[in-house]
Amino acid sequence: MITVIDYGVGNIKSVQKAFTKMGIKSIISTESQKIEEATKLVLPGVGNFGDVMQELRKLGFDKILITKIQEETPFLGICVGMQILFETSSEAEGINGLGIFRGRVQKFTQGKIPHIGWNEIIPRKSRVLKKGYVYFANSFYVVPKDDSIISAETDYFVRFPSAIEKDKITAFQFHPEKSGIFGLNILKRWAKC
């Protein structure tokens, strides 16, 4: 079962609604046991990197997530749910991310901030993405040490990684659940692969 992790930050329901719309069953859970039993995991996230990490640690979800990812349970991180896979963020100095990937999260230096609205994803090689417009709402973006994990990029004064795919880990900086039919199909392909 696809399990959407609810840790009290952000609107979790919209992700589940998007799966439901595509005929895919999912549950929302706040319980460690349910998350441990999940066969696929989704971590949505909005707001501040530091707040998200602190909530995850408080609930003990950080360790569960690391274990599940190491066990190769398919994982999807969305927005801040992507960023916390990395080591650090300039949004919250002194608070470590999960450190699944080496690299940091940094702020845009040019253009209007936040980067809000529809922008194009340009896939490199991806199991789930096609070229097209998706909805973003971010001031920060990831800078991986290992360039090969980037599965799509987007231009906003700089070219930044808008998606990552590595083994069973998938992560999007954008919001597929807010990106119309195009976004719903991305979620469907992820759920099926």
CA 56/CA 47 separation, integer angstroms: 13
Q: Kindly tell me which of 70 and 110 has the beta carbon lying closer to another protein.
A: 110
Residue-by-residue DSSP string for 19-83 = HHHTT--EEEE--HHHHHH-SEEEE---S-HHHHHHHHHHTTHHHHHHHHHHTT--EEEETHHHH
Choose which of 38, 40, 74, 115 interacts with another protein (CB under 8 A): 115
Residue 170 pairs in a beta bridge with 76, 165
CA 143/CA 164 separation, integer angstroms: 11
Q: Kindly tell me which of 48 and 168 has the beta carbon lying closer to another protein.
A: 48
Instruction: Please report, as residue ranges, which positions from 159 to 178 form the binding site for another protein (by CB under 8 A).
Output: 177-178
Residue 185 touching another protein (CB under 8 A): no
Q: Kindly tell me which of 8 and 60 has the beta carbon lying closer to another protein.
A: 8
Residue 6 touching another protein (CB under 8 A): no
From residue 61 to residue 80, the character string flagging contacts with another protein as x (rule: CB under 8 A) and all else as - is --------------------
Residues in contact with another protein, total (CB under 8 A)? 35
Q: Where do we find the tokens 């930050």?
A: 9
